[in-house]
Amino acid sequence: MGGGNKIKSVAVIGAGAAGAVTAAALKAEEVFDYIRVFERRESAGGTWIYDAAVQPNILVRPGALPAETDPPLEIPQHLPAITQPNEQERFSKTPIYSSLTTNVPEIAMSFSDIRFPYGPFAPHHIPRQYIENYFALHKTDSFLVLNTTVEDVSKLNHPSNDGSTQWKLTLRKHDALRNVDIWWEETFDALILANGHYSVPTIPQVKGLEEYIQKYPGRIIHSKTYRSPSIYKNNRVLIIGNSASGTDLSRELVSTAQLPVYQSRRSKIWWEGDSPPAGIEWKPVISEYLPNNGRILFEDGTYLDDIDTVIYCTGYKPSYPFWNAKKNGQPLWDDRKGQLVKSYWHTFFQEYSNLGIVGLPRVLTFRSFEYQAIALARLFANRNPVPLPPVSEQQAWADAREELTRREHRKFHDISWDDGETREWLQGFLKLSGLGTLTGQGRIPPPLTKEMIWAIENLKKYKPGGDDGRKDADGQRADNHGWVVVESRKRDVLGFI
C-alpha cells in the first residue's frame, strides 16, 4: 500500500506475553519513532507474576460487573500533578498459586523465535522469566514504563486537521520513595491494548450469598487469592467450578483438607470420568445460602453444613476502566453480550483504524498473540499487502459471529480448534500480514507446524476419564499434575484455557 506511514508513535498497555510480542513486532518494522509499553506492575510478566502475600478478602460483590467493581479513578483537574497514593482496589495482584503449571504444551505456548526452557507443562515461574527475557532478547526493555497505570484513554483530533485521530493517555506512576502518585499525559498516533483479562474476579449471584458473606467474613474467597493448600488443613472445603483452576485446587486440597473435598459443577468437563477422583465428592449447582445457620443448599435438594471455606473458581471478566466512552463515542466492551463493541477478527476496531487489541480470545495462548501483533504492526506501518475489509463487511462478520456463537451456546471470543476455526483465524492474519520487506524489516507470522498440532491434540495436562495421570510401580498416583499422551481427540481441545 502506498502513501507513506502517518503513524510514528505507538503505545502498548500491558507488559505480559501479549505486550512482549507486540513490542517486538512493532520494533521489527523499523518505521516507528516512539514506542512505549506501559505496565502497572514492577516488572514485565503480566498475569504470570507470582504474588505470595495476597489478601484473601479481595472479593467482588456477587453478580457485579467490572464497571461497578473496578471503576475509573478521579483524575486531577490539572496535569501534571502529584497526589496522595491511590487506595482504591485495582485488582493488580495476579491469580497465580504456588503449584500452578501451564495448561498448554510449551511448543504451542512459546513464541516462534525461542522456546520455553522446558515443558510440556511448565511451572509458573518459567513463563514469567520467559516474558521478561523476551523484552531483553529483542532489546525492547527500553520501551518499558513500569509501575505506571493508564488511567484514561481519550481520542483526539490529529494536529494536522486531516480527519485522523490520536490517543491521549493519562498516566499515574507510584513513587514509592516519596509515597506519592505522579500524574501526567502523553499522546500517541496509535494504541494497542494488551492488558489481559485475568484481573477482576467474577462471582455469580446466588440467593443469600451477599448476606452469607457479611455474616461469615473470610469464608467465601475467589481462586484469585488462593496460594497453597496448607492453610486449609483440616478445613471442610467446597470448590465452585470444575475448569482448570477448579480441577487443580480440588485435587491438591485432598492432601490437606478434611475429606471429602466438595466440588460444585454445572456440567461435565471432557477430562472427567463417570466418578470423581479419590477424596472428592461432586455436588450440583448451589441454589441458596442460608446465613442464619450457615447451610448451603444445592439444586438437587441436598445440603452441606459446617463448611469452613468456599472457593469460587468462576473466572474473570475483562475490565477497561481507562476507556473514556464519553470522549471516544462508544464503550469498548459490552458486558451484556460479553464482547468487544464493533470489533473485527477479535483484534481490530471498526470505528478506530489506529486501535488494536492483542490477547483477548480464548484460543492458543502466546502463539496466537504473535499473529495478532504482527498483523497490527504491519497495518500501523502501512505495509499490509491486503487491506482490511470495508466497515460494512467487518460489521457483517461481527453479526454472523454473534449469531453463530449464540446458536452454539458459546462466547463470542471463544475460538474453537476442532472445527478448523483456529486455523482459519490464524490464516486471516497470514493473509493480512504477508511477508516482511526485502531488506528484512518486519516479522513473518509463524507456521502452524505438524509438531505443534500433534502436541496440541495429544499432550494433555489432565488424563481423560478422571484419572490424575501417571502411576508409580505400586499403582499409586505419582503426581497430581502428571501429563499424559491421549489416544483419541476430545471435543473442544482448547477448552481448558
The residue to which cell 471498526 is assigned: 350
The pTM assigned to this predicted structure is 0.92
Q: Distance (Å, rounded) from C-alpha 111 to C-alpha 130?
A: 10
65 in a domain, yes or no?
yes
Same domain, yes or no: 383 and 456: no
Q: What is the pLDDT of residue 32?
A: 97
Domains identified in the chain, total number: 3
438 in a domain, yes or no?
no
pLDDT along the chain (497 residues), means of 10: 72 98 98 97 96 79 92 96 95 93 92 94 96 98 97 93 91 95 98 93 95 94 94 96 92 96 89 88 97 96 96 94 97 94 98 96 91 98 95 97 94 91 95 93 94 90 59 38 51 55
Q: What is the pLDDT of residue 471?
A: 37
> What cell numbers appear for 53 in the block?
502475600
464 in a domain, yes or no?
yes
Residue 110 has phi, psi (to 5 degrees) of: -70, 155
Beta strands of 53-147 (E only): which ranges?
81-83, 144-145
440 in a domain, yes or no?
no
Nearest to 224 by CA among 118, 153, 319: 319
**N- to C-terminal Cα separation, the chain:** 37
Q: What is the pLDDT of residue 486?
A: 52
Q: Distance (Å, rounded) from C-alpha 203 to C-alpha 450?
A: 40
CATH number at residue 280: 3.50.50.60
Question: How many Å separate Cα 126 from the centre of its chain?
Answer: 17
Q: Which of 282, 314, 346 is the last residue of a domain?
A: 314
443 in a domain, yes or no?
no
Same domain, yes or no: 361 and 302: no
Same domain, yes or no: 110 and 234: no
Same domain, yes or no: 285 and 393: no
* Amino acid (1-letter code) at residue 102: T
Same domain, yes or no: 184 and 330: yes
153 in a domain, yes or no?
yes
8 Å CB contact between 100 and 123 = yes
Q: Distance (Å, rounded) from C-alpha 394 to C-alpha 347?
A: 11
493 in a domain, yes or no?
no
13 in a domain, yes or no?
yes
8 Å CB contact between 175 and 78 = no
Q: Is 205 exposed, middle or buried (0-12, 13-18, 19+ CB in 10 A)?
A: exposed
Q: Is 395 exposed, middle or buried (0-12, 13-18, 19+ CB in 10 A)?
A: middle
Same domain, yes or no: 345 and 465: no
The residue to which cell 507470522 is assigned: 445
Q: Distance (Å, rounded) from C-alpha 268 to C-alpha 262?
A: 15
Q: What is the pLDDT of residue 466?
A: 53
Task: Give me the numbers of helices (H) and strands (E) for the chain, helices first please.
Answer: 11, 25
Same domain, yes or no: 245 and 195: no
Q: Distance (Å, rounded) from C-alpha 171 to C-alpha 190?
A: 16
Q: What is the pLDDT of residue 58?
A: 75
Same domain, yes or no: 231 and 161: no
- Phi-psi label, residue 429: left if phi above 0, alpha if psi -120 to 50, beta otherwise: alpha
Q: Which of 314, 330, 362 is the last residue of a domain?
A: 314
- In this structure, the strands spanning 343-344 and 348-349 are antiparallel
> What cell numbers appear for 156 in the block?
483526539
Q: What is the pLDDT of residue 239?
A: 98
- Hey, which residues does 154 pair with through a beta bridge? 168
Q: What is the pLDDT of residue 484?
A: 56
> What cell numbers appear for 447 in the block?
507456521
Same domain, yes or no: 340 and 372: yes
Same domain, yes or no: 155 and 23: yes
Q: Distance (Å, rounded) from C-alpha 90 to C-alpha 146?
A: 16
8 Å CB contact between 89 and 58 = yes
Q: Is 37 helix (H, G, I), strand (E, B) or coil?
A: strand
8 Å CB contact between 262 and 285 = no
Q: Distance (Å, rounded) from C-alpha 328 to C-alpha 351?
A: 10
Cα-based angle 195, 196, 198 (whole degrees, multiple of 5): 130
Nearest to 291 by CA among 381, 222, 214, 398: 214
Same domain, yes or no: 194 and 214: no
Task: Name the residue range of residue 265's domain.
Answer: 203-314
Same domain, yes or no: 301 and 354: no
